[in-house]
Structure 1
Amino acid sequence: MEVRVGVRDPRDPDAQTCLRAYETELASRFDDGFDPALSISAADEEMTPPAGLFLVATVDGEPAGCGALKFHGDAPAEIKRMWVAPSARGLGLGRRLLAELEAHAAAHGVRVLRLETNRTLREAISLYRSAGYREVAAFNDEPYAHHWFEKSLEPHAPQT
């Protein structure tokens, strides 16, 4: 099995496949469904350099997961649109995507990462806690969120 994770334009077909699957899954799992228009924005231009970036994970060439960063200058960056295909769960792909997002954030000088999630996404909550994210008071008004998390990153040393 070949697993790859890389930066993609969110308009890329594999990225779009992941984003559609993400929205469909949230709509089926959230108590009141999911409408991305009601959620805090994660528009294509916010997930494209220099404003942010979008990662796609593939398993044997097929899109199997994604995650995004939104940069906010010196303020904490946000993780958005984390998703792993049901067929790829249990392979450590979510942890790998999270680690890659953290590495990219650190390389961009981010010192604090934030994310929010819904109470029905128990596996995501467990992942974030086990990866060192701590639950904090709500820092935004995301209508679908029940949990807000934050993690401090180590400064990224330039490679020589």
Structure 2
Amino acid sequence: MMAISIAVETPLQDDVRALVAQLNDHLLPLSPLEFQFKMTVEQMADSDTTLFVARDDEGRAVGMGALKAHGPELGEVKRMYTVPEVRGQRVGRQLLDAIVALARQRQMATVMLETGTGDGMAEAHRLYTRYGFVPRGPFLDYPDSAWSAFFELRLDAEQAA
């Protein structure tokens, strides 16, 4: 098990651009292009988005995930990806921990996400449901389609409990 460090970084660096390209390639065969809601590295660099990059002990970028703010109440998980060689080593879980911790720190009520459907996304669905995300309907301007699955994690319910 390798040591992973997770930090907020800019997406505008070559190894992160390479991760984004790998993620896009991974998603390509899984659903029609019009149902792939990808953020470019330029969009990821906007002030409303915080990107976490996971690096191994050699400093190699092995995963990423972002929190995009849609106003003060709603955070969205975007661009979650880990390279195949570290899958099963809880890198995705650590990235989600960082994203959700930031949402809590900002006192967001809810964190939501859109992801694909089908066998290619089964691991992602497992990660989110184990974490406590529950399925929900479309949010923001996402279309309702068989190609998308939507999840949410209520943070305000925890504070009330």
Give TM-score, length-normalised by structure 2.
0.83
CA pair 55-145 structure 1, distance change in 2 beyond 3 A: farther
CA contact (8 A) 2:38 2:79 kept: no
Would the aligned equivalents of 1:76 and 1:114 in 2 still touch at CA under 8 Å? yes
Distance 1:48 1:154, change over 3 A: farther
Aligned residues of 2:135 and 2:152 also touching (Cα < 8 A): yes
- Which 5+ residue runs of structure 1 have no aligned equivalent? none
Identity over aligned residues, as a percent? 28
Matched, 1:133 2:130: no
Q: Deviations over 1:22-71 (max 9, x none)?
A: 1111114x044x47xx6436244543463111111011211110011110
Q: Tell me if structure 2 keeps the 8 A contact 1:58–1:65.
A: yes
Gaps spanning 5+ residues in structure 2: where?
none
CA contact (8 A) 1:39 1:143 kept: no
Q: Which structure shows the higher helix fraction?
A: 2
RMSD: 2.6
Distance in 2 between the 1:81 and 1:142 partners? Answer: 20
How many residue pairs get aligned? The number is 153
Residues 93-151 of structure 1 deviation map (CA, whole Å, 9 limit, x = unaligned)? 01110111001111122120000111130000011001000000122227784210000
Q: Within 5 Å, which residues of 2 pair with 1:1-160?
A: 1-28=2-29, 30-32=30-32, 34=33, 39-40=36-37, 42-44=39-41, 46-48=43-45, 50-60=47-57, 61-120=59-118, 121-139=121-139, 140-141=142-143, 145-153=147-155
Residues 24 and 38, structure 2, Cα contact 8 Å, conserved in 1? no
Q: State the one-letter code of the partner of 2:51.
A: F
Query: Quick one: structure 1 residues 91 and 141, their matched pair in 2 at CA, closer, same or farther if it must change by over 3 Å?
Result: same
Pairwise CA distance, 1:90: 1.0
22 and 106 in structure 1: CA distance in 2 versus 1, 3 angstrom threshold: same
**Does the aligned pair in 2 maintain the 1:53–1:70 contact within 8 Å?**
yes
**Residue 68 to residue 105, structure 1, CA distance change in 2 (3 Å):** same
